[in-house]
Amino acid sequence: MRSVGNIKGRYYERYQVEDVLTFFSGQLVLARSPDGNQVFLQEVGLSRMLPPGAKEMLLNLPGEYLAPILDVIEENDRIILVHPPLGGEPISLLVQPKQGMEPVLALSIYRKLLKTAIQLKKLPLPLHTTLDPRNIIMDGTRPFILFLSLGGFSGKKADEKWRYLLPFLLTGQQLDDVKNPEMNKNIQELSDGLRNLVLHSMNPTFSMEMVLKEADQLIIPRSERKKENTDYKKWILSGGIAVVVVIGVFWGSQIMDTDAATQLEQQQIEQELKKPGASVEFDTIRFDGETGKSETLPPVVKGSFRVTGELTQTNHKPFTLRIQANKQSHFGLKLNEKGELALYQSMYNEQFELEKSGDSFQIKPDRMYQVELFYIAGKPFRISVQERGTGRKWVAAGNVPVDSEFNIRVDGQKGTSFKAPTVAKIDEESDAMTRWMSNHPWLLVKGSGLMKGNSLHVKNGARISLPSGGTSFVFQRPAEYKEDPLRFELESLNGKRYLFHWAQSGRMELASIDGELKTLGVNWAWKGWKPEEDTHISVVTDPTELSIRMEQNGEVRQVKTQPLSQIMIRRITIISQSDLILSDK
């Protein structure tokens, strides 16, 4: 509906007034236009005339969380905003006293309203509003702001009610006059992320933009949701309005159930994880029950991702971080009652422990461990667990899971906590693997190992590759070692493969392994090789020669071949059937 012509004088000359609703911050006039349409009229007083173009700006306000404006009537000392029939109820009546609403919904509403308030004050003609709960209407699950003022043109200043909106939504209490909010019991009972956000929002040194940025980065884990459904009692504020649904007249319904909150949360996370380099952090998961419990992080994840968190236990209890495609297929990290770790994969109800830490690395009570799980589509999944303050880090590589949509689950028992669990998108595989290997110049392709300082100690059946361009490394074996000292493969840029084998007998052989094995060069090691001391290996190529060079304590040996053309090395992969220590020197 649009008004016709330039209306002078009072708006009731055009509209038939049926009722007036008085709110704390203004009045809404229920009226009918000459064509019988029902509308709401909102007066906005002016202390001075508006500039040209103000009406057009008001008719095209951004944001879906404002009461829609059908028309703007300009008078000498005010303007009248014409709204369509407004559905919903003041949020101040929908929040259960001393209980609050579900955190997922509360945070979603808070974000939307802060973004809207920021948009308004950045307009060419700044608009102010108050985020007092009495000025916020809920229409189903959509909040919208009811009353506006025109900055310096209305004589009103923006207030600070927005600072107390989130604590009200979460606790059901008005905390405007609380001098030490950090001591408030209701705030103390909030989860870590929400408590910090609430305290920052109430701190005058934090701007609205700063608080919104923090709110956008906070995701509520499923474990922090309220388990029960709450009925929100709805009140009739004004008699005499039967049809108009500014004020609700139905009892016992609720504004949003758990499934809707879950969907809202999921959509928000999916949007966040679409951004390059995006990560989403959740609140700490604490296990308090005597029996085992399982928590699910909200996102259904697709593509390549990383899951991290900090594990602590007061005593040895089973713990699992698993990535689940369905009931019969999942993989991840397990911790047993001895504190030993295992990388596992489960298929068709049969579970396989692919790698174990054994007694080389165990979780100890009251210590902190950084846990990371890496999934890169089409590649083996990988795990790392690092003990804080020691530099000791257990790493393991598994099999290649079938690419799917995954759920992330955390299982634990009393005394276990998983702090700040985070899901991060992996954009660059090389960056993720560098992080996993703590910036060392190698990559564990298969097996498991223990990293400490500048060394990697691997056990049986491990395969370690050097990155593209890597042509040298340093290794050791245990002092009592009696097996073949070293074996590694070389792959050239044209796809040809070569094998270097240093046998227990001392024979060193370089062979081509394309098709059948073909010896290209042989030499013999020096007597008195000491496995526990550093042995330096380097691969040298030039247009006429491929050479493998070994050196220890001044002793040097080389195995050479003269190819028809220069061999350009793409990758070196070390194969170890028993204990091997690589050093980054």
pLDDT digit string, tens, across residues 335-381:
999 999 999 998 877 889 999 999 899 999 999 999 999 999 989 99
Q: Is 151 helix (H, G, I), strand (E, B) or coil?
A: helix
- Residue 25 in this model has a pLDDT that exceeds 60: no
Query: Which residue ranges form the domains of the chain, and what is each CATH number?
Result: 44-217 (1.10.510.10), 272-450 (2.60.120.560), 466-583 (2.60.120.200)
Q: Retrieve residue 572's tokens.
A: 């070196």
**Whole-angstrom distance, CA of residue 224 vs CA of residue 506:** 62
Please report the pLDDT score of residue 575 as a whole number. 92
- Residue 135 in this model has a pLDDT that exceeds 90: no
Handedness of CA 301, 255, 142, 192 (dihedral sign): negative
With vertex at residue 247, the alpha carbon angle to CA 83 and CA 134, rounded to the nearest 5 degrees, is 80
Handedness of CA 182, 188, 192, 198 (dihedral sign): negative
Amino acid of residue 160 = E
User: Which is nearest to 10 in space by CA: 77, 69, 57, 68?
Assistant: 77
Please report the pLDDT score of residue 56 as a whole number. 85
With vertex at residue 451, the alpha carbon angle to CA 446 and CA 454, rounded to the nearest 5 degrees, is 120
Higher pLDDT among residues 277 and 296, named by residue: 296
* E strand or H helix that includes residue 260: helix 258-273
- Residue 236 in this model has a pLDDT that exceeds 50: no
Residues pairing with 81 in the sheet: 42, 72
**Whole-angstrom distance, CA of residue 115 vs CA of residue 134:** 18
Confidence of residue 233 (pLDDT cuts 50, 70, 90): very low
* Range from 102-106, 209-213, 226-230, 437-441 carrying the lowest mean pLDDT: 226-230
User: Which is nearest to 311 in space by CA: 291, 331, 285?
Assistant: 285
- The radius of gyration computed from the CA coordinates of the chain, to the nearest angstrom, equals 34
Please report the pLDDT score of residue 37 as a whole number. 79
Task: Tell if the pTM clears 0.75, that is, is over it.
Answer: no
- Residue 199 in this model has a pLDDT that exceeds 80: yes
**Whole-angstrom distance, CA of residue 278 vs CA of residue 351:** 32
Please report the pLDDT score of residue 367 as a whole number. 93
Cβ atoms 106, 126 nearer than 8 A: no
* Range from 49-58, 151-160, 307-316, 488-497 carrying the lowest mean pLDDT: 151-160
Please report the pLDDT score of residue 241 as a whole number. 28
Please report the pLDDT score of residue 253 as a whole number. 27
Higher pLDDT among residues 243 and 520, named by residue: 520
pLDDT digit string, tens, across residues 370-388:
999 999 998 999 999 999 8
Please report the pLDDT score of residue 267 as a whole number. 67
pLDDT digit string, tens, across residues 293-333:
888 887 788 889 999 999 999 999 999 999 998 777 899 99
**Whole-angstrom distance, CA of residue 492 vs CA of residue 498:** 8
Q: For the packed helices 208-217 and 192-201, what is the interaxial angle rounded to 10 degrees?
A: 170
**Whole-angstrom distance, CA of residue 44 vs CA of residue 541:** 81
User: Which is nearest to 66 in space by CA: 160, 137, 150?
Assistant: 137
Please report the pLDDT score of residue 297 as a whole number. 86
